[in-house]
Structure 1
C-alpha cells in the first residue's frame, strides 16, 4: 500500500499529466491555424513535383500563364553571394557573362513536365516574374538594375519594353536599384517594387512613363538616418520584396520583407490603406499574393528569422475581412521542408499553391484538400495533417502528433501514464517534485494587427 505522501505525489502527477495533455487535444484541431468554421484552407503536399530532367538554379520566382501552366524564373549557374555586389550595389562578376541556361521554364501544373523554356544568355541575376492577362512576361534582374516586358509572340530574346539603366543602380525616376517585383493592372499600367536599395514603389503607364512613386527605405543596413522606437510608420519599406494587386479592392499590397508585414495602398494614388503583421509570421515576410475568395485572402510566406523567438518557416493564409490567420501550408516531410522560400503563386480559386525556393533549389506544390468537393486525386499528392502548436520546430512530429491525438488516444495515454507511475512508485522513493515546466497552448487563430487601426495602441516592435 502507498503511504499518504506517496498518494499525494501520485495525485499530483496525475493532475500534471492531465494539464499537459488536455490543452493539446483542444488545440490540435486548430493547431495548423485553420479557422474551425471553414475547413477549406487545408492543403496537401505534392511529392516528386515537378518532373524535370535537369537541375535548377536558385528559383527566385513562380507565376501562372493564362492557360494555368506554372512558370518559374531561376538563376541557373549564377549564385547571389557576398562577392556579387560592391558597396555601391554594382554587380561585380560582369565578365562572367549572362546565365547560359534557359532561365524561364514553363511546366504543366498537373504532370509537372517541361513544356517550354527560354531566357538563356540574357539575364544575370533573376528576381521577379509576373505574367499578365495578355501573356506578357514581366521580369526583373537585380544585377542589371532593369525590368523587362517580353511578348513571346514577337521574341523571346528581345523585350518589347526595358526600363532602367544597364548595370547602373540609381534612384531617379528613370533608374532602379535591384528591383524586385512587378504588378500589372487591367489597363496595362504597372507597379515596380524598387527594391533592395531605394525602398520605394513606382507606378508607370503601359508605355513605361512614370506616373507616381512613394515609400522610403527603412532597412537598418542601408538607411542613412535613425527611426524612433516602436512600430515603423506606413510608407517605410525595409525591402519591398513582392507585389500583388487586389483588383476587386483596387489595392496594391506589398511584402515589406525585413519588417515582417504587408502594406496595402490605393492603386490609383498610392495612399496608404492598411498594414498587417502577426507574431506567428515573424520578423521576415518574403512574398504575398491575393485572391478574391471569401472576402479577400492574402497568402504569405516567411523565411529564416534573425530575431528571437524564431518562427517556423511556413506559408500562411490571412483573411482581410476577419483579420485572422485561417490556414497554413508547409511540406509534409523533412526532406522537402522549407529552408529559403522566396516567392509564391496561388491559383485564383485557391486550389493550388506553388512556392519557389532559393536553397534547396526547388519548387513546391500544394493542393487544397477539399478541391472539387473531395480529396485530391493526384497520386503525387499526400495528405498534410495539422501541426502541433507545442513542437513547431519539427514538421513531421508536429503533423503526426496533432493529427492523431484524439480523445480516445488521450484516455489510453493517461491510463498508460498512470500504470507507469504506479509501477515506478513501488520500486523507488519519490523525491520532491521538480520545478514544473510551463507549456504554451496559444491558438494560432489569432487576430492580425491592422496597424492602420491599432497604431496608437501598445508600441510593440513589428
Structure 2
C-alpha cells in the first residue's frame, strides 16, 4: 500500500512553496509554541502578537509632575544609553484624559526625559523646554565615546527646525544646526529646491558613520539627504521631491551598512537604497508607512511600520522574512490598552541585554519587550550593525 503524506507534512510543504513573507523562516515560525519555542510539539491557540518577545506590563511610568490633570502626550522617540538609562523625547504633556477637547491641549514641558530600568522618570531636562517645539527623534551616536545625545526637532511652521547635540548629561549644548529663517509651510518648502544646507523643511532622521560624519533626512517638507562632517560642516546632499528613483516624498527612516544607505521613503511606500555617495541602487516597493530602519549585525533589515503597527524583517536583498506586532491603543471589546500593543510606533532602540524599546507616538508610551526564554534567535533583532570604517 502506498503511504499517504500526513496533513502536517502537506501543510508545511505548502507554506514553504509560498513566496514573499511565507519563506521557510516564516513557515517555521508558524509551528512555534506560544513562547516561541520550535520543539516539534503541536500547540493550539496563540496569535503571535508580540512575536518572540514578552512585553513588560506597566513598564512606562508617569513623570513626577504628572497628576490627575496632565499626562504624556505624543511620545516621539527613544534612545538607549544603557539598560538603566533610557532617553525619550515627547511633544509635551496632554490632559490625562486624552479625549479632552480643550484648546489648551498642550503643556510645553517634558520634551526630554530619562527613564531608569524600571521605566521610572529619573531625569527631566526642563532647562531646555524653551528650546523645542516638536521634538521628533533622539539618538546616541554609537561611535562616540562621550555618548552625546542628539535631538531632531521638526519644529513645525512656527518653531525652530533644528538638530541639537547635547552632552550626555544634558548640561550643555555641543552643537546646534538649523537656520531660523526656514519655510513656514509645506507648500512654501516644496515650491523651492535651492534651500541652503542648514535651512530645513521639517527634518526627521539621523544616521552616523564611524569617522564622525552623519546624515540628516530633511525630511517631511524638503526631500533630501544631507551629509555633514563631525563638526557639522556641509559635505554633500542628494534627493528631490517626486516618485522616481532618487526622489522622495517624506523621508522617515535612515540607516547605513558597509556600502549602502537605506532610506524609508514614507509617502512613496518604499525603501530606497543608495551608495554612500548618493547614487541610486534599487528600491524595495510596497512597504506601507515605513518610519524606522534597524540594521543588525546578522544581516537583517528591520523596518518599523507605523500604520500596520508591525516590525518587519527583511534580508539584505529586500525579501520579507518575518513580522510581528499589533495595534494596542484600544480594544473593540472594551479591554482598552493591552501590554505590548503598539500605536503608531515611531522609533525603536535596543539595550545590550537584547531588550527592545519602541516609542508609540499616538499612544503616548514606550513599550519595553524582553526576549522570550525559548525564542528562535532568528526572530529576534540582533545588535545594531557597527561599521569599522
TM-score, scaled to structure 1: 0.58
Question: Which structure shows the higher strand fraction?
Answer: 2
Which stretches of structure 1, 4 residues or longer, exceed 6 Å deviation after superposition?
A: 22-27, 30-33, 38-41
Matches within 5 A, 1:230-245: 232-245=243-256
Query: What is the aligned counterpart of 1:114 among 121, 134, 138?
Result: 121
The 1:162/1:184 distance shift into structure 2, 3 A limit, reads same
Matches within 5 A, 1:194-273: 194-218=218-242, 232-246=243-257, 249-267=258-276, 269-273=277-281
The 1:31/1:331 distance shift into structure 2, 3 A limit, reads farther
- Rounded Cα–Cα distance in structure 1 between residues aligned with 2:55 and 2:254: 25
Could you say what secondary structure the match of 1:35 adopts? helix
Question: Which structure shows the higher helix fraction?
Answer: 1
Partner of 2:42: none
- Rounded Cα–Cα distance in structure 2 between residues aligned with 1:352 and 1:235: 35
Partner of 1:324: 320
TM-score, scaled to structure 2: 0.68
Q: Deviation string for 1:340-399 (max 9, x for gaps)?
A: 2222224477x33222122121112222224xxx469xxxxxxxxxxxxxxxxxxxxxxx
- Rounded Cα–Cα distance in structure 1 between residues aligned with 2:309 and 2:24: 14
Gap regions ≥5 residues in structure 1: 1-18, 80-92, 219-231, 305-311, 377-462
Displacement of 1:125 in angstroms is 0.9
Partner of 1:151: 167
Number of residues of Structure 1 aligned to a counterpart in Structure 2:
305
Matches within 5 A, 1:129-148: 129-132=138-141, 133=144, 134-143=146-155, 144-148=160-164
- Rounded Cα–Cα distance in structure 2 between residues aligned with 1:234 and 1:199: 13
Whether contact under 8 Å (2:357, 2:366) holds in the other structure is yes
Displacement of 1:129 in angstroms is 1.3
- Rounded Cα–Cα distance in structure 2 between residues aligned with 1:343 and 1:48: 19
Partner of 1:126: 135
Asked if residue 61 in structure 1 is aligned to residue 100 in structure 2, the reply is: no
Could you say what secondary structure the match of 1:60 adopts? strand
Partner of 1:183: 207
Gap regions ≥5 residues in structure 2: 1-6, 16-20, 30-35, 38-50, 96-102, 184-188, 190-194, 332-336, 377-389
Could you say what secondary structure the match of 1:121 adopts? helix
| Superposition RMSD in Å | 3.6
- Rounded Cα–Cα distance in structure 1 between residues aligned with 2:372 and 2:317: 23
Partner of 1:73: 89
Partner of 1:104: 112
Displacement of 1:74 in angstroms is 0.3
Whether contact under 8 Å (2:82, 2:352) holds in the other structure is no
Query: What is the aligned counterpart of 1:298 among 301, 304, 310?
Result: 301
The 1:114/1:250 distance shift into structure 2, 3 A limit, reads farther
Q: Deviation string for 1:144-163 (max 9, x for gaps)?
A: 1111111135x53x522111
- Rounded Cα–Cα distance in structure 1 between residues aligned with 2:60 and 2:244: 41
